[in-house]
C-alpha cells in the first residue's frame, strides 16, 4: 500500500489532477513499535535539516498538488479503518502513513547517512485504500518526481513543467533513484 492521508475525513481520493499532494517530513515516526517493558516514546528519525530546508525553498510548482511538511508515520500495517486512522493521527500527529520510511531512516541512521522522507499520497487510509492506491499510484509518483526535480534543478525557469519528459534524455526510474541518492548524499555532506 502507498502512503495514506491520516488527516482526511474519510472520503475517496480521486484522480483529479493529483490534488492530494506530496508529503515531506521533518520526522519519521515508527508507529508500530509496541514496547511493553517501559514507557519509551516511539522511535523518531529526524530528516536531514539541510534537505528539509532545501525542499521548503522549492518555489510554488505550476501543478495542482500541494507539498505538506510534517511528521510521517511508518509501520507494518495497512490503515484501512477510519477509527484506526483517527487514533494513529491523534497519537502521532502524522500527516500520512506508509510502510518503508522507518526502515530507510533506521538504515541511514545506522550508516550515518542523512535521511529525508518524501511521499506521494495515494489514498485516504480507509476502506477504499486498495482501489485508490492502484488508481493514484502513477500520479502520486509523478508528483514526487516533479517535487524532486524542482528541488534538484532550482535554476529552471518558472512556469516550465518539471517532468521526466523535460529532461534531455529518458532516465530509467532505477537510475534516477540512484542519481538522486548520490546527489543528496553529496549535498548534505557538503553542508555539514
Mean pLDDT over each residue of the chain, to the nearest integer: 76
pLDDT in tens, 177-190: 556 656 655 655 55
Number of domains within the chain: 1
pLDDT interval class at 133 (50, 70, 90): confident
Identify the band that residue 67 occupies on the pLDDT scale cut at 50, 70 and 90: confident
- The whole-number average pLDDT for the span 137-161 is 76
How many Cα atoms are found within 13 Å in the side-chain-facing hemisphere of 130? 4
41 C-beta neighbours (distance < 10 Å), count = 8
How many whole angstroms separate alpha carbon 25 and alpha carbon 23? 6
Mean pLDDT of 126-137: 87
Q: Which of 60-74, 90-104, 166-180 has the lowest mean pLDDT?
A: 166-180
Sequence-distant (6+) residues with CB within 8 A of 62 are 158, 159, 161
**Cβ atoms within 10 Å, residue 117:** 26
pLDDT attached to residue 18: 40
**What pLDDT band is residue 62 in, cutting at 50, 70 and 90?**
low
Could you tell me the CATH number of the domain that includes residue 34?
3.40.50.1580
Q: Which domain covers residue 28, as residue numbers? A: 4-190
Amino acid at each position: 500500500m502507498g502512503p495514506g492521508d491520516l488527516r482526511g475525513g474519510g472520503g475517496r481520493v480521486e484522480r483529479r489532477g493529483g490534488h492530494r499532494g506530496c508529503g515531506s517530513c521533518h520526522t519519521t515516526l515508527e508507529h508500530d513499535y509496541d514496547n511493553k517493558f517501559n514507557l519509551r516514546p516511539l522511535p523518531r528519525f529526524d530528516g536531514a535539516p539541510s534537505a528539509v530546508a532545501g525542499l521548503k525553498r522549492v518555489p510554488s510548482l505550476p501543478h495542482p498538488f500541494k507539498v505538506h511538511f510534517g511528521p510521517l508515520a511508518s509501520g507494518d500495517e495497512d490503515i484501512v479503518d477510519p477509527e484506526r486512522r483517527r487514533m494513529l493521527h491523534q497519537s502521532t500527529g502524522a500527516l500520512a502513513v506508509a510502510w518503508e520510511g522507518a526502515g530507510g531512516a533506521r538504515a541511514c541512521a545506522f550508516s550515518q547517512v542523512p535521511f529525508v522522507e518524501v511521499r506521494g499520497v495515494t489514498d485516504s487510509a480507509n476502506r477504499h485504500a486498495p482501489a485508490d492506491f492502484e488508481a493514484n499510484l502513477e500520479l502520486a509518483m509523478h508528483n514526487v518526481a516533479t517535487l524532486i526535480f524542482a528541488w534538484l534543478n532550482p535554476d529552471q525557469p518558472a512556469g516550465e513543467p518539471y517532468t521526466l519528459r523535460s529532461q534531455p534524455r529518458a532516465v530509467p526510474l532505477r537510475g534516477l533513484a540512484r542519481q538522486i541518492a548520490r546527489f543528496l548524499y553529496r549535498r548534505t555532506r557538503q553542508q555539514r
